[in-house]
């Protein structure tokens, strides 16, 4: 994490921003954590909020006025933000659960009639832009969306990433892009639209069976796309698609155009036609390019639903990938545990965990990269939900306590995401109590059965119930969708108490979702146990007329450390679930490991 701003670097950047604001008559300037594709992980060019404030969490909004600067972020990042904003005049503005747009209310209440608020519409989501405009208009405050002041104040601003785009091929690419385009056009016709514009990178990568490396940890590339009845246009920077790939795309009716031509293509759509847009997945800047008279059909991108429902062959590749990932983890933990017990070893740090776990995965077939920055948090650092050790600030792993490791891999056959907690030294009774409560939450949701179409947020309380019963809660959602060699966070489904149970969050067969309850005690320890699960048909319900049900198949294959369990808190059926899970883990992973990794696997999957 950044050291305190003793040199005044951030103060100088903020002064430059305020000078640019004054030059343009702007009273407040907003820098969201976003890019023209509304990505979660941002290319360097659009990391302006982190550059200005020093806060590096993945969620946050920066606002500056002439005499105030603040970062709005939620409970997952409070501790991190407090540390990273230390030594500056930038305030942490805490967002309670379910209040992600609190900064809009602050602007409406703080700014005066006649003042001007500005934001770059090219990185502002359309749905958020509408809420912002309405709130400010009601108070007589002007909103400008045509200013990118970062260009004026950030001389070393990174350029667009140059990495090449590559084709995602069989056997892992199960469905040809021609078939996917046909399905999108059918959805367009059903909605009464002749064109469909897309900006979200995972949707585009999925649709065209292409992958890239423009965004850390996610195999996607910067692009927009316009799908029409007879052709599709992919807007991507020059030099990223070679001649051979360009020719193959042309054979499938796909034209490649310069990245910057996307806005112009929207401006040329003739009035009287209909354009399908997803207001949650397109920026206000792109929407503003569409002429009056073009009928806008607002609906979820068809690809968002399609890519979330993994095909049977895709699920098969994911299962095989989970075996390789689990074997890598066996190798890693077989190295780690003796190291922790070796008093003569060199100091072991959180940074070493990241290096070793990534190296173990890299030796497995099909591995491409990590799927996110490894979170290795010892004791108090484990209570920082999105903690990331850095060379400047990290912990040495020594003494007694708990080590939380949240990590994942991008493989050609799927994306993994797993969290495990292991004891260092002797776990305390309090550690075991909290760990067992979290395990009970994982088991409760993992064994759930529910009707097809159940809204994802409705399932959240099943995981929290055992933790709530102890008077404890955790400040993050219980589950997120996971892509297929795509983004580790993928919609539309989500298991969270603050997500609205909208129709698009319905659980359908083939979706992959995380289950990750936790308990966090700031300054002491954090516990989270995470598996990925697949929605599969459940056994027929008793009687008739109740419809089809789904259940979860646990995909993740790695032992849960029984040394941290207080078995007196487990019911018989919960212990049976864990023993059955460990039998499956052992049977699936034994063919892939030998030596110390095999011995570790057998030891850690013994029955309780």
Neighbours of 516 (CB within 10 A): 26
Domains 9-153 and 166-307 share a fold: yes
**pLDDT, position 99:** 55
3-state class (DSSP) for residue 548: coil
Give how far the C-alpha of residue 31 lies from the chain's centroid of Cα atoms, to the nearest Å.
20
**pLDDT, position 6:** 47
Domain boundaries, the chain: 9-153, 166-307, 309-604
Q: Please tell me the class of the 9-153 domain.
A: alpha beta
- Report residue 338 as tokens: 């003796």
The domain made up of 166-307 has a fold known as: Creatine Amidinohydrolase; Chain A, domain 1 (3.40.350)
Nearest to 490 by CA among 397, 357, 371: 371
Percent of the chain at pLDDT > 90 equals 89
Predicted model pTM? 0.93
Task: Please enumerate in sequence order all residues whose Cβ is within 8 A of that of 344, keeping only pairs 6 or more positions apart, or say none.
Answer: none
Is residue 330 within 8 Å of 310, Cβ to Cβ?
A: no
**pLDDT, position 1:** 43
Q: How far is CA 132 from CA 95, 129, 554, 600, in A?
A: 17, 5, 41, 54
Q: What is the DSSP string of 266-285?
A: HHTSPTTSEEEE-TTSSBHH
Q: What is the mean pLDDT for each group of 10 consecutive residues in the chain (608 residues)?
A: 61 96 97 94 94 91 96 86 91 79 94 97 95 96 96 94 96 97 98 97 98 95 97 97 97 97 97 96 96 96 97 98 98 96 82 96 98 96 89 90 98 98 96 98 97 96 98 96 97 94 95 98 96 92 77 98 98 98 98 98 98
Distance CA 607, CA 580 (A): 9
**pLDDT, position 597:** 98
Phi then psi for 512, rounded to 5 degrees? -110, 130
The domain made up of 309-604 has a fold known as: Creatine Amidinohydrolase (3.90.230)
**pLDDT, position 542:** 60
DSSP 318: H
Q: How many residues does the chain have?
A: 608
Q: What are the tens digits of pLDDT across the range 348-390?
A: 999 999 999 999 999 999 999 999 999 999 999 999 888 888 8
b/e sequence 146-174, b meaning 16+ C-beta within 10 Å: ebbbbebbbeebeeebeeebbebeeebbb
Is residue 226 within 8 Å of 265, Cβ to Cβ?
A: yes
DSSP 347: P
**pLDDT, position 228:** 97
Beta strands 479-481; 490-495: pairing state = antiparallel
Neighbours of 186 (CB within 10 A): 11
């Amino acid at each position: 994490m950044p050291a305190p701003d003793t040199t005044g670097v951030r103060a100088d950047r903020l002064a430059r921003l305020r000078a640019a604001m004054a030059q343009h008559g702007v009273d407040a300037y907003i820098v969201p954590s976003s890019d023209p594709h509304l990505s979660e992980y941002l290319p360097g060019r659009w990391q302006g909020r982190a550059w200005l404030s020093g806060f590096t969490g993945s969620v946050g909004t920066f606002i500056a006025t002439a005499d105030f600067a603040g970062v709005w972020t939620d409970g997952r990042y409070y501790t991190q933000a407090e540390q990273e904003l230390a030594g500056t005049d930038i305030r942490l503005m805490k967002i309670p659960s379910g209040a992600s747009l609190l900064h809009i209310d602050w602007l409406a209440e703080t700014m005066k009639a006649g003042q001007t608020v500005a934001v770059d519409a090219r990185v502002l989501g359309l749905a958020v832009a509408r809420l912002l405009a309405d709130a400010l208009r009601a108070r007589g405050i002007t909103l400008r969306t045509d200013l990118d002041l970062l260009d004026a104040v950030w001389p070393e601003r990174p350029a667009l990433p140059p990495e090449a785009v590559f084709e995602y091929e069989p056997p892992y690419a199960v469905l040809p892009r021609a078939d996917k385009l046909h399905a999108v056009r059918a959805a367009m016709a059903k909605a009464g639209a002749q064109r469909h514009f897309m900006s979200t990178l995972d949707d585009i990568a999925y649709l065209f069976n292409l992958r890239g490396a423009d965004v850390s940890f996610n195999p996607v590339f910067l692009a927009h796309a316009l799908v029409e009845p007879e052709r599709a246009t992919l807007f991507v920077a020059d030099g990223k698609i070679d001649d051979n790939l360009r020719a193959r795309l042309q054979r499938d009716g796909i034209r490649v155009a310069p990245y910057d031509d996307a806005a112009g293509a929207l401006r040329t759509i003739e009035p009287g036609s209909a354009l399908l847009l997803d207001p949650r997945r397109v920026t206000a800047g792109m929407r503003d390019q569409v002429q009056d008279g073009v009928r806008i059909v607002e609906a979820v991108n068809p690809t968002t639903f399609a890519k979330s429902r993994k095909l049977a062959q895709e699920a098969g590749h994911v299962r095989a990938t989970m075996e390789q990932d689990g074997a890598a983890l066996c190798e890693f933990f077989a190295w780690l545990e003796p190291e922790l017990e070796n008093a003569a070893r060199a100091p072991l740090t959180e940074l070493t965990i990241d290096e070793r776990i990534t190296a173990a995965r890299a030796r497995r077939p099909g591995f491409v990269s990590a799927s996110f920055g490894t979170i290795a948090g010892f004791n108090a650092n484990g209570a920082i939900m999105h903690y990331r050790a850095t060379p400047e600030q990290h912990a040495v792993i020594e003494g007694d306590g708990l080590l939380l490791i949240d990590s994942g891999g991008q493989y050609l056959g799927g994306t993994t995401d797993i969290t495990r907690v292991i004891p260092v030294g002797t776990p305390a009774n309090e550690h075991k109590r909290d760990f067992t409560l979290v395990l009970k939450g994982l088991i409760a949701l993992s064994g759930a059965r529910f009707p097809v179409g159940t809204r994802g947020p409705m399932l959240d309380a099943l995981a929290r119930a055992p933790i709530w019963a102890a008077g404890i809660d955790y400040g993050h959602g219980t589950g997120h969708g996971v892509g297929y060699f795509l983004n580790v966070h993928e919609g539309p489904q989500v298991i969270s108490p603050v997500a609205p149970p909208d129709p698009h969050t319905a659980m359908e067969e083939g979706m992959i979702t995380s289950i990750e309850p936790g308990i966090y005690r700031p300054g002491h320890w954090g516990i989270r146990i995470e598996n990925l699960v697949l929605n599969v048909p459940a056994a027929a319900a008793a009687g008739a007329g109740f419809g089809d049900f789904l259940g979860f198949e646990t995909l993740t294959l790695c032992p849960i450390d029984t040394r941290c369990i207080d078995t007196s808190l487990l019911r018989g059926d919960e212990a049976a679930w864990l023993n059955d899970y460990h039998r499956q883990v052992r049977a699936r992973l034994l063919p892939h490991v030998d030596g110390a990794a095999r011995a570790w696997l057998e030891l850690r999957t013994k029955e309780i």
